[in-house]
Amino acid sequence: MKFLVTPSLLLSLAVASPLQPRQAVKLEARAHTVPIASESASSHKWPEVSASSFPIHESCNASQTIALEKGLADTIKLAHSAQAHLLRWGSNSPQVQAYFGNGTTATPIGWYQRVIAATRGDMLFRCDDPDQNCATQSGWAGHWRGSNATQETVICPLSFARRQPLENLCLNGYTVAASPLNTYWAVDLLHRLFHIPAIAEEFVEHYAEDYEEVLELAETNSTWSGFDSDALQYFAIDVYAYDVAAPGVGCTGGEPEHNHAHVAPSASQTATENAVSSTAAIVRPPSATPSSTTLVTTTAIAVSSTAAAGLAPSPTASIGCSPHGDHWHCEGPAPTSA
């Protein structure tokens, strides 16, 4: 810990008059914390800006900024609802079991909280095309700038044409299991945020490839589920659908090619081991109190990806990485020493 915030420090921040705040803060800070070299006390203050707003570059015009801010606000709503579900139901929730297995809920709770409130630092969403990927990569709706600017995300024009608001959740035949994961701005931007070190600290990676692999990871290797980008995205949209958008119903959809031992059949369904299930794959809690979800108004960030190319270097915090589209899939976190 770099410094301790004591009640008296907070008090001094609060009462200091404009004429003498620096001195007061400096004295208090010295009295209660590790000595501060010759630095100005301002570097030890809480950030003044709201941590929940995401920086959007001036290259996004007025319309794009509005769309992006709305998408990022959706992402915060999604993270809040996912976190509320984890806190309310813990591992008793069938969705929690399905996506995170018997792993600790503290891990996903922590990632959603970092999306909601971690200091944004140098992160940036931009709408120009500095790496020329929007112009040259067919189908790209955005990309993480990787080694060119590790905290930056480019949103290509395609995102503004394709991504949908959360209000459209469960409409138009959408199901969590079968529709593209990046259908909604909220999920697409959540994915992009998990590539940004300021949010995900280079710990969230792609361990599972698709919906089925996410469920399989939770069954067989759940320690990793809490660090899997797709598990965090699928869980968030599935519980938002069930808790908020279509309370008690959701739109999980079936898993056509894969049966999972933990998946209970619906009452009217006699499931054999290899039967194709076209009904909800996950048994829901009796009532998931949508009102427990706190909705936050904020601005945020967005990202999208489709094809592959021009890739940043393999993440150093992970091992066994191979390129996957515009990002890396890794086998696991690199061992940490000391």
Ligand X SMILES: *[C@@H]1O[C@H](CO)[C@@H](O)[C@H](O)[C@H]1NC(C)=O
Residue 299: how many other CB atoms lie within 10 Å: 20
Task: Kindly tell me which residue out of 62, 106, 161, 261 binds ligand X, with binding defined by CB under 6 A.
Answer: 62
Of residues 17 and 61, the one with the C-beta less far from ligand X: 61
Q: Does 165 bind ligand X (CB under 6 A)?
A: no
Q: Does 336 bind ligand X (CB under 6 A)?
A: no
Three-state SS string across 203-266, please?
Answer: CCEECCCCHHHHHHHHHHCHHHHHHEHHHHHHHHHHHHHHHHHCCCCCCCCCECCCCCCCCCCC
Q: Does 102 bind ligand X (CB under 6 A)?
A: yes
Of residues 290 and 332, the one with the C-beta less far from ligand X: 332
Cβ neighbors of 224 (< 8 A, separation 6 or more) are 103, 207, 217, 332
Task: Kindly tell me which residue out of 23, 42, 63, 294 binds ligand X, with binding defined by CB under 6 A.
Answer: 63
Q: Which of 5, 84, 82, 74 is nearest to 46 (CA)?
A: 5
Interatomic CA distance for residues 139 and 205, integer angstroms: 22
What is the pattern of x (binds ligand X, CB under 6 A) and - over residues 122-151? ---------x-x---------x-xx-x---
Q: Which helix (H) or strand (E) holds 98?
A: helix 94-100
Task: Kindly tell me which residue out of 55, 197, 325, 332 binds ligand X, with binding defined by CB under 6 A.
Answer: 332
Point out which span in 69-77, 88-96, 254-262, 309-317 binds ligand X (CB under 6 A).
309-317
DSSP-based three-state secondary structure for 40: coil
Residue count, binding to ligand X (CB under 6 A):
23
Residue 210: how many other CB atoms lie within 10 Å: 12
Q: Does 218 bind ligand X (CB under 6 A)?
A: no
Q: How far is the CB of 310 from ligand X (least distance, A)?
A: 3
Contact 318, 336 (CB under 8 A): no
Of residues 44 and 145, the one with the C-beta less far from ligand X: 145
The alpha carbon of 252 is separated from its chain's Cα centroid by a whole number of angstroms, namely 19
Token reading at 124: 């940036």
Q: Does 331 bind ligand X (CB under 6 A)?
A: yes
Per CB under 6 A, contacts with ligand X among 222-251 are 222, 224
Task: Kindly tell me which residue out of 21, 55, 157, 265 binds ligand X, with binding defined by CB under 6 A.
Answer: 157
What is the pattern of x (binds ligand X, CB under 6 A) and - over residues 193-212? --------------x-----
Site of interaction with ligand X (CB under 6 A): 61-64, 101-102, 131, 133, 143, 145-146, 148, 157, 207, 220-222, 224, 310-312, 331-332
